[in-house]
Amino acid sequence: MTGAGAWHIGNIHVSDGPHGIRAQEDGAKNNDSYEATCFPTASSTACSWNRELIGKMAEGMASEAKELGVSVVLGPGINIKRSPLCGRNFEYYSEDPFLAGELAVAYICAMQTNGVGTSLKHFAGNSQETHRMTSNSMIDERALHEIYLSAFEKTVKCAKPATVMASYNYLNGVPACENYELLTDILRKQWGYEGLVMSDWGACVDLPACIAAGMDVEMPDSCGNHFNELLEAAKKNSRLEQALRTSVYRIEKLVAAYGKNRIEKKEAKCVSEQTRNHNHELARRIEEESAVLLKNDGFFPLKDIGEILLIGDLADKPRIQGGGSSHIHTDRVDNFIEEFEKQHIKVHFARGYRSNTFHRDSRLEKEALEKLQKAKKQNMPVLFVGGLTDIAEGEGYDRESFELPANQTALLEQMLCIDDKIGFISVSGSPYNMELPSKCKGLLQLYLGGEAAAAACVRLVTGVVNPSGKLAESIPYCEKDVPSYGYFGRQGEQNHHLDDVAYRESIFPGYRYYDTFDVPVRYCFGYGLSYTQFTYSDLQISKATNESYQISFCIENTGMVSGSEISQLYIKNPQTDDFRANRELRGFEKTDLKPSEKKKIVIAIDERAFSVYQNGEFQVIEGVYEIQIGSSLQDIRLSETVEVNGTKLVSPLYRNTKVPLSEKDFNMIYSYPYTHFSDMKPGEFTTKNSLIQMAPYSRLAKKWIRIGKIAARLMYFPKSMQDPEVRMMTEGILEGNIDSVCNQSGGLIKNRTIKKIVDSANKGALK
């Protein structure tokens, strides 16, 4: 019922994903994994909107997993993006559950068809990193089922993942790993899931309660600290004993299905050169389809150029992935300078800023501005490579600012005063303030594009490849425009409600909020430019059975170059005051077209497209709906109405209610018991709490916070405390439940020690 060490269930090896194989042995640090291909992250691949391409990536990963002896890959991650400040957004697909679910199905089906299991994560409501082990996601019933469980439901039913990973957070007052409603009532009884449920690493504290709720195995090994309580509980409870037997059966079933990938320790573990070469090229092709051209004022493509000026530290030291448990140890990373030179283009380079700090460097700025002035006189194209750096975002902590790093902002402002004929190459795991980048003549968003991102970028900006990516999330103008603002991470009221996380935006995350309440965004959901143009025509709608429809239309490439268009189907809901989004994505297709080529697209939608969750199930809501076909959310090309039969929507709120909801409004729709995790007092603490939570009441907790910081620094010396790996470790020690800190300390922290810390906090040593 517990991991065999850190990375085995029984005798099969599990490995972090989801954009590469991070296989390592027990006791190794995050950056001590075997070499593997670093594919583009989920934030990037989602912008391809290409199910087949996502499947090809999963196939490539599966081939490496088998060569490394890995049986189960921990991924994909399909948590909904509530805020662009979430430090782990680069691992997630979208703010929209339909898109996330479709891509996850493609990923899982392809990987498991190729003999490697997957672990769908993080189930559920895990949308922030701040206090991720102790925070309580407070989500009303409609939002929970329509938004935060919807992608999981589709993926479980359609792809049947080998395992599901229960998340760190509490969900409506109950730890996800102990949540019977989530793991048994919903996952198994309603959705029919028959696979194995594992905990996220260190998320299981009360093992008997977790098993009783429907979890099968805790990860990683808890050093025997949970054995006695499990055995004693099983002796006293026959139902728990039966649950144990069921869990053992599921573990054995998993091992039997995927154990053939096992490699004995004495055998060398490495990916063959042939596989690596194939996957490196695959990673490039994926990024070429995923990068999003956000602005092009006649700047791109840069054809027939002999020289170019590149400015930015990230041009020389590309950022290809995020920090944390998904960090891939790759043996090759394409470099922007070298990739331009491969195209016989002479590169002039100025660093301009340093990516390992936010502080300005006057010498580097001066050099960059001098080279910019020379380039302007020679009419030489200029590219600024910038965005969010490693120290800005990563697993285990949320971003502290929505802004472009200050040193880049200062340099870019000066550059634009000299010459606005600049192309901005954006690198980031999630959106940021693009006010300055949008003043450049061209803007290409790469997200975190994997080890071949630079090669893909060069082929895109020189016109070898036509950009075809479209945004899988909205890019707002500012942090305060985000619907979860004030109720996310460290934005809590008076900056102290870090553990009681009210999802006050309810069913309106992302574009559902901006579109419904007329909040302008810088770049909308589904948006992306091309070097060619497409026209839409001949919309046909035919009713199949009940409230299911078949929609067909034609797309023609009316430009001069080949390209790919992502057509999107939105359902515009009845124009009433009902508490419902203005419109929602219900279908999409990506189509390759040569100049003057025309193709017919067919998309089927079922009654779920017209449904809301009420009375304990999804029910079709009557009314006149508009089926819209567009190039983006704000670029609808074709539309037609249909009248749908169903029931009435039942809600105590109306759509003209201000969002985020007031506390009074939220109380009207939130039906779960309230907790007070942000205001815990002496006498209430357990080993589920963190050092940070107990520090105000315990000198011993304060002492161990100091020890933890020193330990993290020594463990990763000589890295900076701002390094993503170091910061994730530090935040884990300080903000993680102390049971997990004990179990994963390698025996350095004893079980009796953490009990002393809890006892001291409950006595309230500090008033």
Q: pLDDT by residue (tens digit) across 274-301?
A: 999 999 999 999 999 999 999 999 999 9
Which residues are catalytic, by number?
200
Which pLDDT tens digit goes with each residue over 81-117?
A: 999 999 999 999 999 999 999 999 999 999 999 999 9
List, as one string, the DSSP characters of 456-482. HHHHHHTTSS------SS-EESSGGGS
Cβ within 8 Å of residue 427, ≥6 positions away: 314, 318, 319, 385, 386, 387, 388, 446, 447, 448, 449, 453
Long-range pairs, 170-174, Cβ under 8 A, ≥24: 170/134, 170/135, 170/136, 170/137, 170/675, 170/677, 171/124, 171/125, 171/136, 171/137, 171/139, 172/136, 172/137, 172/138, 172/139, 172/144, 172/672, 172/673, 173/136, 173/138, 173/672, 173/673, 173/674, 173/675
- Across the range 378-383, mean pLDDT stands at 96
| Band (748; pLDDT cuts 50, 70, 90) | confident
Judgement on whether residues 222 and 316 belong to the same structural domain of the protein: no
Judgement on whether residues 443 and 548 belong to the same structural domain of the protein: no
Which pLDDT tens digit goes with each residue over 549-576?
A: 999 999 999 999 999 999 999 999 998 8
Question: What distance in Å separates the CA atoms of residue 626 and residue 607, rounded to the nearest whole number?
Answer: 14
Question: Does residue 272 sit within a domain?
Answer: no
- How far are the Cα atoms of 158, 247, 251, 454, 599 from residue 216, in angstroms, in the given order? 22, 5, 7, 42, 48
Comparing CA positions, the residue from 588, 722, 641, 715 lying closest to residue 54 is: 588
- On the question of pLDDT at 496 being above 80, the answer is no
In which region does residue 130 sit, left (phi positive, over 0), alpha (psi from -120 to 50) or beta (all else)? beta
CATH classification at residue 433? 3.40.50.1700
| Band (766; pLDDT cuts 50, 70, 90) | low
- What pTM does this model have? 0.96
Which pLDDT tens digit goes with each residue over 3-47?
A: 999 999 999 999 999 999 999 888 776 668 899 999 999 999 999
Q: Residue 271 has what pLDDT?
A: 94
- How far are the Cα atoms of 258, 455, 619 from residue 221, in angstroms, in the given order? 20, 41, 43
Mean pLDDT for all residues in the chain: 94
Question: Does residue 133 sit within a domain?
Answer: yes
Judgement on whether residues 332 and 455 belong to the same structural domain of the protein: yes
Question: Does residue 731 sit within a domain?
Answer: yes
Judgement on whether residues 97 and 200 belong to the same structural domain of the protein: yes
Q: Residue 260 has what pLDDT?
A: 87
Question: What distance in Å separates the CA atoms of residue 448 and residue 291, rounded to the nearest whole number?
Answer: 9
CB 32: neighbour CB atoms within 10 A? 11
- Which two three-digit tokens encode residue 593? 């077209």
Judgement on whether residues 43 and 183 belong to the same structural domain of the protein: yes
Tell me whether strands 598-605 and 549-557 are parallel, antiparallel or unpaired: antiparallel
Percent of the chain residues past pLDDT 90, beyond the cut: 84
Judgement on whether residues 181 and 238 belong to the same structural domain of the protein: yes
- For residue 175, is the peptide bond before it cis, meaning its omega torsion is within 30 degrees of 0? no
Q: Residue 744 has what pLDDT?
A: 86
Question: Does residue 385 sit within a domain?
Answer: yes
| Domain end residue (candidates: 600, 632, 648) | 648
Which pLDDT tens digit goes with each residue over 198-221?
A: 999 999 999 999 999 999 999 999
Question: What distance in Å separates the CA atoms of residue 456 and residue 288, rounded to the nearest whole number?
Answer: 5
Judgement on whether residues 138 and 25 belong to the same structural domain of the protein: yes
Q: Residue 378 has what pLDDT?
A: 95
Question: Does residue 170 sit within a domain?
Answer: yes
Q: Residue 547 has what pLDDT?
A: 82
The DSSP element (H or E) to which 750 belongs, if any, is: none
CATH classification at residue 634? 2.60.40.10
- On the question of pLDDT at 675 being above 90, the answer is no
- Across the range 144-151, mean pLDDT stands at 98
Q: Residue 722 has what pLDDT?
A: 81
| Domain end residue (candidates: 261, 279, 307) | 261
| Band (679; pLDDT cuts 50, 70, 90) | confident
Judgement on whether residues 337 and 446 belong to the same structural domain of the protein: yes
CATH classification at residue 153? 3.20.20.300
Percent of the chain residues past pLDDT 70, beyond the cut: 98
Question: Does residue 491 sit within a domain?
Answer: no
Q: Residue 567 has what pLDDT?
A: 98
| Domain end residue (candidates: 465, 491, 509) | 465
Q: Structural domain of residue 441, as residue ranges?
A: 291-465
Question: What distance in Å separates the CA atoms of residue 573 and residue 623, rounded to the nearest whole number?
Answer: 8
Q: How many CA atoms lie within 13 A of 141 on its CB side?
A: 18
Q: Residue 494 has what pLDDT?
A: 44
Beta-bridge partners for 643: 624
Q: Residue 719 has what pLDDT?
A: 83
Judgement on whether residues 312 and 219 belong to the same structural domain of the protein: no
Comparing CA positions, the residue from 147, 107, 102 lying closest to residue 124 is: 147
Question: Does residue 549 sit within a domain?
Answer: yes
Which pLDDT tens digit goes with each residue over 221-254?
A: 998 889 889 999 999 998 999 999 999 999 999 9
Judgement on whether residues 193 and 80 belong to the same structural domain of the protein: yes
- Across the range 69-91, mean pLDDT stands at 96
Least confident range of 26-35, 188-197, 648-657, 701-710: 26-35
Query: 40 and 453 in contact (C-beta within 8 Å)?
Result: yes
- Which two three-digit tokens encode residue 532? 């060619």
Question: Does residue 198 sit within a domain?
Answer: yes
- Across the range 357-378, mean pLDDT stands at 97
- On the question of pLDDT at 764 being above 80, the answer is yes
Judgement on whether residues 349 and 211 belong to the same structural domain of the protein: no
Q: Quick one: CA torsion of 700, 702, 704, 705, rounded to 10 degrees?
A: 170
Judgement on whether residues 299 and 237 belong to the same structural domain of the protein: no
Which pLDDT tens digit goes with each residue over 440-483?
A: 999 999 999 999 999 999 999 999 999 999 999 999 999 999 99
Of 263 and 118, the structure prediction assigns the larger pLDDT to 118
Greatest CA span in the chain, whole angstroms? Answer: 84
Query: 376 and 311 in contact (C-beta within 8 Å)?
Result: no
Three-state DSSP state, 676: coil
Edge-to-edge order in the sheet of strand 549-557: 534-543, 549-557, 598-605
For residue 285, the Cα-to-chain-centroid distance in whole angstroms is: 21
- Which two three-digit tokens encode residue 52? 């087949």
The DSSP element (H or E) to which 370 belongs, if any, is: helix 362-377
How many domains in the chain?
Answer: 4
Query: 387 and 427 in contact (C-beta within 8 Å)?
Result: yes
